[in-house]
Chains A and B, each alone.
Chain A
């Protein structure tokens, strides 16, 4: 049974943000409705420029919305930004630590900004240094850190006051696979401690592996929302990817109107078919291509990934838009 008293950590209605430049205005976020439940890892997925960061910055009180309303950590975004700031942590894309200052000093200073005493801030800094395994570099200037160390310090800065909600803006962009896995572990540990995590990413595997629920944003609008499983299930049963010698368009034309094909697309010269049952569709596909005189070069069958979800919802591949 759903406990109706439990309030969502984030609730937005019609959240909008318009950027005005000299003679044109761009609607970066065009009416976003979101509900983030307490304790979940919520992934905000979309290509660069889709409005992810703008939404995040609005929810973190850094940017006033042009329209709509939102409640964050139980407070009204428009009227109580100060109270929201006490309850949330935010780790921006650029991080936020100064190259010239040691990690430990940064953590202590951050704790002081949240009203801690010197002793309290030092104690919390030491805890975070142990937790994030920064012992080896805590007393060196942050400019000397590796990418993974710096990102862990940045996350530590967002956790100093033990916030109930943590915003992470593309936490693993630019990290090597090992550091990326470390960050994932940290996010899972926060989740285990009951912290709600709202993160943006343009990595589908990250959203898939890490998030309890996902919203896909494109051109400032939410195009899909749900658990990774739900989203994948919304795409047809299986995905068949095939390439033919020359003329992919002709292959598409031959296949797209077949009854067993729910949807067909061209993607980087390959033909993508969303079908109900791949093992039944494959022989039929082979026969049809043969009959049309097309030479099949490769054919593959896989369960839909979030990439397929994205392609289906937006008409574009996330890989090509992120590149």
Chain B
């Protein structure tokens, strides 16, 4: 009796499974078959950092073009890169370029830097001045836990006259994997040999300071720093500006203290853009932070800066479910983002691309083909 009903239940399950597979097969071809109308639906996924900007771009772009639907899912840079390699999206976004090995696995990838982020050092010192000065080495020592107190001679020497309390420093870092952490640790690794050897660069690292707490997201770090007296942390430029919390000035390779701002970040990219590769080459070694650390001429350039990228394939017909109308719409959208879209950046506290990078992106987008035919004709 019992055995029979279990067997029956199993049979029912199998029937349900077969039925659902059959139904899926009936429905599936309809959704992937090329559309006869000129409607285009574009799918993208990836980084969370540029999501507010991309979201704005998509809504502004689609407002004027009701036959184009664009869907962007902020699943994270890692997920974006995976989706790009597996060709499950039409475009992918990531705060980091493809590594050499990933670039081999996704041949024909084009990198299009879309916007720029800057990382700002924020702190919470009751009745201490705003705009404390830091050098990269001192910052690395603080985050290594070697400079333990605000009254440490290393900090005092950089800020003569500032009232620095004799309190222990609490280091606040991102607990989640993030492009922000990558850029910040890239900077610390570039300016400090010890940091590079003990910690290194990555989206998540092993934080060595004994008095360190991790907070989730830029908003989490901002909130934790604001709440924790004598703490220091790092956030995206946008969060430092929106919250109005005190932030530090950083010394650049030209030997001057630079305040983080949209202008100083844009200036940094202008200097670094000289050595950028072409869109169809590997970008794995691109680091604005590292090229700024070398350029002693980069006056007024803020040193902790990075791109956020969109990645597409050069030959779009290799993507499953891609048709010519969609390919056209995708390239048109990216072209719009690189030009008109940049006007929306500043109000959302993103840094617009300097003209040299815009021209580089124009060349990159002109390379895109569909079945061997150039998508953009100009």
Say if A and B assemble together: no
B residues with a Cβ closer than 8 A to A are: none
A-to-B contact residues, CB < 8 Å: none
